[in-house]
Structure 1
Amino acid sequence: MGMLKYISRSVWILSLVSLFTDMASEMLYPIMPIYLKTIGFSIVLIGVLEGFAEALAGLSKSYFGKLSDNSGKRTPFVQFGYGLSAISKPMMALFIFPMWIFFARTIDRFGKGIRTGARDAILSDEATPETKGKIFGFHRAMDTLGAVLGPVIALVYLYYYPQEYKNLFYMAFLPGLLAVLVSFLLKDKRNSKPIAIKKVSFFSFLNYWKLSPSEYKKTVIGLLVFAAFNSSDIFLLLKAKQMGLNDTYVIGIYIFYNLVYAVVSLPIGILADKVGLKKMFIFGLTLFAVVYFGMTFTENKYFIILFFFLYGVYAAATEGISKAWISNISDKKDTATAIGTYSGFQSISALIASSLAGLIWYQFGASATFITTGIATVLVIIYFSFFMKDKIIKNETFR
């Protein structure tokens, strides 16, 4: 495995931490809506809860990314962020008041906000512009492997103990705790010096946007337009359910999608370093459009499996790749801020996307939602293909 020589100790540690954390979160992801309904949450309240939690995580990413860049420290942000997410799991089972659940879910997402920019900056620092795709790909692969193991454990457990949702929340604390323990093996590099700077405001990412390189702005605008139409995976799962597939099949297909995503992330990262990050991202968007148009017109179970396979490849070709791409077109000292700013805007877009998708679905039916998303994606592909210079493909850094 010549590939593994690029994977440093820090990247291994971060990847394991992500694997355990994702395992904990994904054990709960497929059952979360069911659990919330059993304790009396309405579907509207579930939507509000998820949207709020995601938006908070997104906005805090840029703030903590900036704090991390300024302090010259990465590790404390990573450890504290993963710690909060671990604590939040058992909290959701302890009390069932809506406000408390809201609080626990928010703490979980807030933890994500605290750690993301710093974590991605460490990954970026451990890579050269030529190995960005590989490093981010490896991390995504390990992270997504957690998303395979988690639901599998949940399915097996619920098979033997149907409807015993509460215990799953306590069980999810264990991998979360493991993640925190592993994160204490991380060490900050000695050469990182703090930048003497006045205090950081929560909306400081708006300032970064003004100062960022024009290449960064152009890229992020394209990514955000896509994000504003890229609704939650839950809509694809709902569509599968609408076609008459039972719960086990739907959770099974979700696990299958994550498995594909995990398996192809590293090969796609290696390929992206060869052909260029932008080309790989456009390839991913093309698959996404195929899936959304395809899901509109099919009623065939086997086609659904094919589309979820393609969806896994799409995720691998865009998720880590977009961050690697951004880290290549921003100044090294601003990496966490640049990725945090993008993630901040992205989660606001995701909030818009899922609300928009829900609204179109409610008014005009599922097909309208999927066709709208497909058309918007084609427009973004055209934008990246014809209106963005290929400067980035050569993986030049703008230092």
Structure 2
Amino acid sequence: MYLATTGRRPDAPPRPPGVGRRVPGTVIALGAVSLVTDVSSEMVTAVLPLYLVLGLGLSPLQFGFLDGLFNGATALVRLLGGRLADRGGGRHRTVAGVGYLLSALSRLGLLLAGGAAGGIAAALAADRLGKGVRTAPRDALISLSAPPEALGRAFGVHRAMDTTGALLGPLVAFAVLWATADAYDAVFVVSFAVGLLGVLVLVLYVPAGTGKPAGTGMPAGTGMPAGAAAPAVAPEPAVAPEPTRRKPGALRDPVFRRVVTAAALLGAATIGDSFLYLLLQRGLDLPPLLFPLLPLGAAACYLLLAVPVGRIADRTGRRAPFLCGHGALLAAYLTLTAPPVWPAAVLTLVLLGVFYAATDGVLMALAGPVLPPEGRAGGLAVLQTGQALARLVGAAGFGAAWTWWGPRPALAAAAVALAAALAAAWRILPTEEVA
């Protein structure tokens, strides 16, 4: 079989000049939805570790278990979201919309919880469930809307827009806290309103079907505006026909199994961004007001690199950038073991941004062409579930190690684990062509 990670299938007919070079409208619309939604979610994410650890007094072990538990719940729901999206000819937008709405409503749960542990847990669970439901259908829409040889760029554009929201969210949270004298409730109210706006953008601008940009009647990837004359040569469909010999179950494909295994191994050695930010805050003795600004460095780097790295992955293959991204994360862990100084903190945030730029969308672009179109959302959900469940283990394990050994020994152990996982993934991940 052929793993389309570097270009078109050898037997595919030539594409007419200019066709498929523009980012499909569906990808842009989904990027706008993610941008607005990430402003909402990152407002809460930026203040949540501080709120739970410093405000409510949770220990690092309790926080790590809570974060890992809810990420695990997200993972399991992704399977359901992917399965529902693939049924009935593709319900990707509907399923994704339910997920976005559930996450927006979770902000009201945080507001009404009033510091009660049970209410906070329920609100966080609702947010993670919403994220779990929407992620696979959204990524499947992107994968089905762009030609295989441009998937890295398409996911890069989407992730860049998504990260713009992640960049703006902490700034909005910082402004709200500054204007309201550290009133967390005000952050939750603004986050809820912005989340509803994201749902509205999805309904208005993302088409209900798959494979066509919003507002056009052309197949995805043609780049033709509505009302434009048809090209002299009929464009090839955005997604090339899949080989008929593929087996229906995603995990029955040996290539896909290897991708899932490598992603899970690396996920188990990932400790979570919240811990990194807490380590930076404690090491530099930052005041609580400045804590929401820490994610901005990583988000800015991710925003700048997402599209260029995606284009590089399309040209050179997606395996190497994915592994190099985890190498950057390993360098971030090692940097944090050094004495806490501002240059080391800035370098840590830059390396974290490089990690996300080289792994998040690149992994979806790597796995997408392996899966048949009618089962792509479900297959991507399996991949995301395996990775998220592995990160549950990593978050809980690091929280326990921090509580028992202290932050620096725990971080050194995490670096060793990531180095071992990286070496294993280098051998497991498939090359660009697999017989």
* 1:294 and 2:329 matched: no
Q: In 2, are the aligned partners of 1:230 and 1:373 still within 8 Å (CA)? A: yes
Cα distance, 1:59 vs structure 2: 0.4
Higher helix share: 1
Q: In 2, are the aligned partners of 1:6 and 1:135 still within 8 Å (CA)? A: no
1:284 corresponds to which residue? Answer: 325
Cα distance, 1:109 vs structure 2: 1.3
* 1:7 and 2:48 matched: no
* Comparing 296-305 and 76-85, the one that deviates more: 296-305
2:218 corresponds to which residue? Answer: none
* 1:66 and 2:106 matched: no
RMSD, aligned α-carbons: 2.5
Normalised TM-score (structure 2): 0.81
2:345 corresponds to which residue? Answer: 304
2:301 maps to amino acid: V
Alignment of 1:110-189 (within 5 A): 110-185=129-204, 186-189=206-209
1:338 corresponds to which residue? Answer: 379
Cα distance, 1:48 vs structure 2: 4.2
Alignment of 1:221-260 (within 5 A): 221-246=261-286, 247-260=288-301
Match of 2:393 among 331, 349, 352: 352
1:232 maps to amino acid: G
Cα distance, 1:340 vs structure 2: 0.4
2:99 corresponds to which residue? Answer: 81
Q: In 1, are the aligned partners of 2:47 and 2:291 still within 8 Å (CA)? A: no
- Kindly name which structure, 1 or 2, has the bigger radius of gyration based on alpha carbons: 2
2:391 aligned counterpart, secondary structure: helix
Over 3 Å counting, the alpha-carbon distance change for 1:280 and 1:368 in structure 2 is same
Distance 1:363 1:38 in 2: 19
Q: In 1, are the aligned partners of 2:144 and 2:210 still within 8 Å (CA)? A: no
Cα distance, 1:312 vs structure 2: 0.5
1:197 corresponds to which residue? Answer: none
Map Cα deviations across residues 185-224 of structure 1 (whole Å, 9 max, x no partner): 22233799xxxxxxxxxxxxxx94652x101111211111
Distance 2:314 2:190 in 1: 39
Map Cα deviations across residues 51-109 of structure 1 (whole Å, 9 max, x no partner): 33221111010122012112222111011111111111122112424323222221111
Cα distance, 1:47 vs structure 2: 4.3
Cα distance, 1:129 vs structure 2: 1.6
1:130 aligned counterpart, secondary structure: helix
* 1:215 and 2:255 matched: yes
Q: In 2, are the aligned partners of 1:208 and 1:337 still within 8 Å (CA)? A: no
Q: Which runs of 5+ in 1 are unaligned?
A: 193-206
* 1:108 and 2:108 matched: no
1:198 corresponds to which residue? Answer: none
Over 3 Å counting, the alpha-carbon distance change for 1:106 and 1:387 in structure 2 is closer
Distance 1:286 1:46 in 2: 26
Cα distance, 1:176 vs structure 2: 0.5
Over 3 Å counting, the alpha-carbon distance change for 1:300 and 1:87 in structure 2 is same
Over 3 Å counting, the alpha-carbon distance change for 1:231 and 1:3 in structure 2 is farther
1:243 aligned counterpart, secondary structure: helix
Over 3 Å counting, the alpha-carbon distance change for 1:272 and 1:245 in structure 2 is farther
Aligned residue pairs, count: 378
Q: In 2, are the aligned partners of 1:77 and 1:118 still within 8 Å (CA)? A: yes
1:58 maps to amino acid: A
1:56 corresponds to which residue? Answer: 73
Over 3 Å counting, the alpha-carbon distance change for 1:100 and 1:235 in structure 2 is closer
2:284 aligned counterpart, secondary structure: coil
Cα distance, 1:10 vs structure 2: 1.1
* Comparing 6-15 and 242-251, the one that deviates more: 242-251
Cα distance, 1:160 vs structure 2: 2.6
Normalised TM-score (structure 1): 0.88
Cα distance, 1:149 vs structure 2: 0.5
1:283 aligned counterpart, secondary structure: helix
1:75 maps to amino acid: R
